[in-house]
A and B are shown apart, each in its own frame.
Chain A
């Protein structure tokens, strides 16, 4: 019947938007096109509030579903078949569709649900369902109807010229199309949290750029390679992005020389924010994004976050702020960054970890000890030493 496989893709929240809807839809279609391009000849079109993907039969269905599953802004995906909007044609198509399911999956029971987008069609939805059901019963002798717990829930989506038949709705990632919500600079360490934070903001449509701080030779080159690989996993969802790499050791040495030992981490966090703010401004990012989560470590207590936050004026997004560590870990596993994150290389925060870091720092005291540092010079030197790496989606 079809020489190509059809997939129906439904918008997530983008469908709720008013005047901006076409813009969101356009972004989404472009994003899908980009991701499925490498699989072969695939057509992506939008029509009547849905996206239709038609792919050569030679391309495995699961590959297409997997690629589309990486696109933010999608509610669900359904492999489907289409036929003319004529009850007899629909009946015939339904029989063929169900026969295939009987063969492939040994289906025994079914239920039909119909929806009529074209209200001028003379038959009402429940009656369409009944008629299609009758055709199926007649055409597939082994099948029985089960309205409560059917093996197959056959949906009939009748539109003006074409009717679509499908059975499953595979959940998409949700969120909003990438690029629909500005650009943010994420402070990307090698840990579990920051990649998740980046992913969560990207899911809301934010384009991502990253800054990575290291303390070479106190941290190793392999630690940076790990971060690049982590970033590569993020890029699968967030598209290609830039990562700025900066050595914080000169700043850490100054902090070590001039500030009390227990202030090391909090002072360093403030510098990371300020250097990040400069890098963000230079690269058209309007926000900073961090993986901080309330109370997770000494530098993330309410007091410490206030002191850190006071170092910059740019808004700082902390999408993980109220999440439990186990929830963050689950999400990291879902994204695919967890296994990489737990590889044991130290980042610059852990290298100079004081024995007893301050958990309740006071801004006035921190600012007083900071007065001994040439803050502006340290920041601008760090910004100038920046190296930029292009991060490409990592395809294994």
Chain B
């Protein structure tokens, strides 16, 4: 049996979602744009999914645009606003700990002549609204701040950020928070979501766009999704997303309390059993499911592969590299962690599928893996 602790990368799709999608692929395979009955049947699935997701997000159904992934949603929101409001100003503000879908889009826009500003974070991984306010001027058209950081789990103070936005609109990448926290749509103009992080299908994303806000579509064609995302709807994916979203919204608090208890159990286990560790996830305002830990004097990648041999799947923040200083996790670097701490970092991300036994086995395997590495480590 495997122990899957990489739920921030992707999740196991719910059986119910898989079954629904299979049925749609086999039977209701019509195109929602078709005038006949099969088209109507498909359209109904899309409508229902839109309502389900809107309920989970806390917005109106017409405020949801389905896309192909979180990255596409981020692109559509950021480019869509930047281009629509180009006359009002060309300054865009974001944080140093965003997902590459945001950071790389900002970098591309910088090349296209926009002025971008990237605000740092504190050592716990939080953006300071006052510091952010200094970067926002009258010409700023968009601020993009993620809701939950995907590497350390810090929850960003979106309400406080919204107070500083001046003329700008506020976008938030909520890929990691959907199904774990209420989405603060009351302070957001745009928000990005992804289905496969909530036990839904890969290849499905969505964008929340408040009311009648005007954005420039990034894809032209048949005018689906009110012209904001042309292309035949991925009906099974949309339906799967809708179902996963309802399941995530259902008894969310209870489930999150249970996951948080598991995460705390893991944190306790690691602190009790393994010396020289640094917990990188803040102990307040953190999402229930993420725990980022540096096992000092080790290499995260090797610990990952050692755990993998026992069927335990985790993640490192950094890519495979021996030069943590230049190539390690940009989030941990932004938090000011040492090269050693970055190199030894492991991210555990839990789901409701994990059990207490999973956690105990993981701590046990970690203890051995870290010991083995430290025993050999001096020879590197």
**A378 located at the interface, meaning its Cβ lies under 8 Å from any Cβ of chain B in the complex:** no
Binds B, one of A6-14, A153-161, A345-353: A345-353
In the assembled complex, the Cα of A10 lies from the Cα of B379 at a distance in Å of 55
- Which parts of B283-333 form the interface with A (CB within 8 Å)? 301-302, 304-306, 308-309, 320-322
Q: Are A354 and B379 in contact (CB under 8 A)?
A: yes
Is B306 a contact partner of A217 (Cβ separation < 8 A)?
A: yes
- Which residues of the other chain, A, contact B322 by a CB distance below 8 angstroms? 346, 350
**Contact pick for B302, options A217, A256, A344, A350, CB 8 Å:** A217
Given A216-B305, A217-B306 in contact, is the A256-B379 Cβ separation under 8 Å? yes
Interface size on A, residues (CB 8 A): 21
Q: Smallest CB–CB gap between A223 and chain B, Å?
A: 8
Complex: chain B residue closest to A217, CB-CB? B305
A345 touching B320, Cβ below 8 Å: yes
- B320 pairs with A346, CB closer than 8 A: yes
Given known pairs A346-B320, A346-B322, the reply for A220 and B305 (CB within 8 Å) is yes
Among candidates B302, B308, B321, B378, residue contacting A218 with C-beta atoms closer than 8 Å: B302
Whether the pair B321, A253 counts as a contact (CB closer than 8 A) is no
Say whether, besides A256-B376, A353-B380, A220 and B306 are in contact (CB < 8 Å): no
Compute how far the CA of A221 lies from the CA of B309 in the bound complex, rounded to whole angstroms.
11
The answer to whether A261 has its CB under 8 Å from any CB of chain B is: yes
Set of chain B residues within 8 Å of A221, measured between Cβ atoms? 305
Complex Cα spacing A193 to B308, Å:
31
A208 at the interface (CB under 8 A from B): no
User: In the complex where A344-B320, A346-B320, A346-B322 touch, is A220 in contact with B301 (Cβ < 8 A)?
Assistant: yes
Query: Which residues on A sit within 8 Å (CB–CB) of B378?
Result: 261
Q: A256 vs B308: C-alpha distance in the bound complex, in angstroms?
A: 23
Taking CB atoms and an 8 Å cut-off, the chain B residues in 345-361 that contact chain A are: none
Q: Give B222-236 interface residues, CB cut-off 8 Å to A.
A: none
Q: Which residues from chain B contact A256 at a C-beta distance below 8 Å?
A: 376, 379
Q: How far is the CA of A346 from the CA of B320 in the complex (A)?
A: 8
How far in angstroms is the closest Cβ of chain A from B185?
40
CB distance from A168 to the nearest CB of B (A): 45
Looking at the assembled complex, report how far the CB atom of B308 sits from the nearest CB atom of chain A, in whole angstroms.
7
Nearest Cβ distance between residue A265 and chain B, in whole angstroms?
11
Q: B376 near A253 (CB under 8 angstroms)?
A: yes
* Residue numbers in A under 8 Å from B309 (CB-CB): 216-217
| The residue from A218, A261, A344 contacting B305, defined by CB atoms under 8 A apart | A218
- Contact indicator per residue, chain B 168-182, by CB within 8 Å of chain A (1) or not (0): 000000000000000
Which residues of A from 14 to 51 have beta carbons under 8 Å from B?
Answer: none
Interface pair A352/B320, CB less than 8 Å apart: no
- Asked whether, in the complex, the Cβ of A261 is within 8 Å of the Cβ of B320, the reply is no
Report how far A220 CA is from B301 CA in the complex, Å.
8
Which residues of A from 201 to 233 have beta carbons under 8 Å from B?
216-222
> Could you mark each residue 133-169 of chain B with 1 if its beta carbon is under 8 Å from any beta carbon of chain A, else 0?
0000000000000000000000000000000000000
Measured CB to CB, the closest approach of chain A to B322, in angstroms, equals 7
Q: Considering only CB atoms, which chain A residue lies closest to B373 in the complex?
A: A218
B340 to chain A, nearest CB (A): 15
How close is A299's CB to chain B, nearest CB, in angstroms? 15
Chain B residues within CB distance 8 Å of chain A = 301-302, 304-306, 308-309, 320-322, 376, 378-380
Q: List 28 A-B contacts (CB under 8 A).
A: A216-B305, A216-B309, A217-B302, A217-B304, A217-B305, A217-B306, A217-B308, A217-B309, A218-B305, A219-B305, A220-B301, A220-B305, A220-B320, A222-B320, A256-B376, A256-B379, A261-B379, A344-B320, A344-B321, A345-B320, A346-B320, A346-B322, A350-B322, A352-B376, A353-B380, A354-B379, A354-B380, A355-B380
Which residues of A are in contact with B by a Cβ distance under 8 Å? 216-222, 252-253, 256, 261, 264, 344-346, 350-355
Given contacts A218-B302, A220-B301, A220-B320, 6 further A-B contacts (CB under 8 A): A216-B309, A256-B376, A344-B321, A350-B322, A352-B376, A355-B380
The 5 closest A-B pairs by CB, nearest first: A217-B305, A256-B379, A217-B306, A261-B379, A218-B302
